[in-house]
């Protein structure tokens, strides 16, 4: 089914596959430290976009703990000793979401929303993500779709959350 026909649950399921793929790439521990940092920043942006979309039909989820890890990782250079520790913790969080809480959330969303509502939310997420497009960094351009890359560096969590939610209709925003 083409992405344009996807409802919110299909988009979120696609996100889960993409998140798992980037975790695997980072777990393979290949590439320069700078490349790993680029991939880590991309994973942060993707995960934030995913959480914003997942929260649309069920506001109120608390992401403070994962936000803290993402912020610390985004602010840590690839040569700093704590980079790999923070990256490992973040990958574990993403894997846990993809493998455990994510599928349960998808079932809850699907059972609590009408098909029309799911299509409407899916369209809002696609439009929001299209408006948040940017040019990928050369280090990840061969593996990352341009629409999903956000500027790296300090504040990436806030920029990703803002970009993912700012163009959603007012009644769709919960953060």
Asked, for residue 173, whether it belongs to a domain, the answer is: no
Its pTM stands at: 0.77
pLDDT at 25 over 90: yes
* First-to-final CA distance of the chain: 30
Residue 175 lies in a domain: no
Number of domains in the chain: 1
Are 56 and 168 in contact by the 8 Å Cβ rule? The answer is yes
Range of the domain at 13: 3-168
- The reply to whether 66 falls in a domain is yes
> Is residue 33 one of the residues assigned to a domain?
yes
Contact of 66 with 101, CB cutoff 8 Å: no
Cα(65)–Cα(39) distance, integer angstroms: 21
CA distance 87 to 82: 8
Residue 160 confidence class, pLDDT cut points 50, 70, 90: low
Cα–Cα distances (Å) from 161 to 24, 36, 63, 141, 148, in that order, read 24, 22, 12, 22, 12
Q: 84-136 pLDDT, tens per residue?
A: 999 999 999 999 999 988 899 899 999 999 999 999 999 999 988 887 665 44
Measure the CA–CA gap between 3 and 24, rounded to whole angstroms: 24
Query: Residue 156 falls within a domain, yes or no?
Result: yes
Whole-number Å distance between alpha carbons of 117 and 134: 28
Task: Transcribe 80-122 into DSSP letters.
Answer: STHHHHHHHHHHHHHHHIIIIIHHHHHHHHHHHS-HHHHHHHH
Q: Is residue 78 part of a domain?
A: yes
């Amino acid at each position: 089914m083409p992405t344009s026909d996807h409802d919110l649950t299909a988009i979120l399921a696609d996100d889960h596959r993409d998140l798992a793929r980037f975790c695997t790439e980072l777990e393979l521990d290949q590439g320069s430290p700078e490349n790993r940092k680029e991939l880590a920043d991309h994973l942060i942006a993707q995960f934030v976009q995913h959480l914003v979309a997942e929260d649309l039909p069920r506001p109120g989820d608390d992401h403070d703990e994962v936000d803290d890890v993402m912020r610390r990782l985004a602010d840590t250079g690839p040569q700093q000793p704590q980079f790999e520790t923070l990256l490992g913790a973040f990958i574990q969080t993403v894997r846990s979401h993809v493998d455990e809480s994510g599928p349960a959330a998808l079932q809850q969303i699907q059972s609590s929303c009408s098909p029309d509502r799911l299509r409407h939310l899916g369209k809002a997420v696609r439009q929001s993500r299209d408006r948040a497009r940017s040019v990928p960094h050369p280090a990840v351009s061969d593996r990352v779709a341009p629409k999903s890359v956000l500027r790296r560096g300090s504040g990436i969590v806030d920029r990703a959350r803002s970009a993912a939610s700012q163009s959603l209709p007012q009644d769709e925003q919960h953060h």
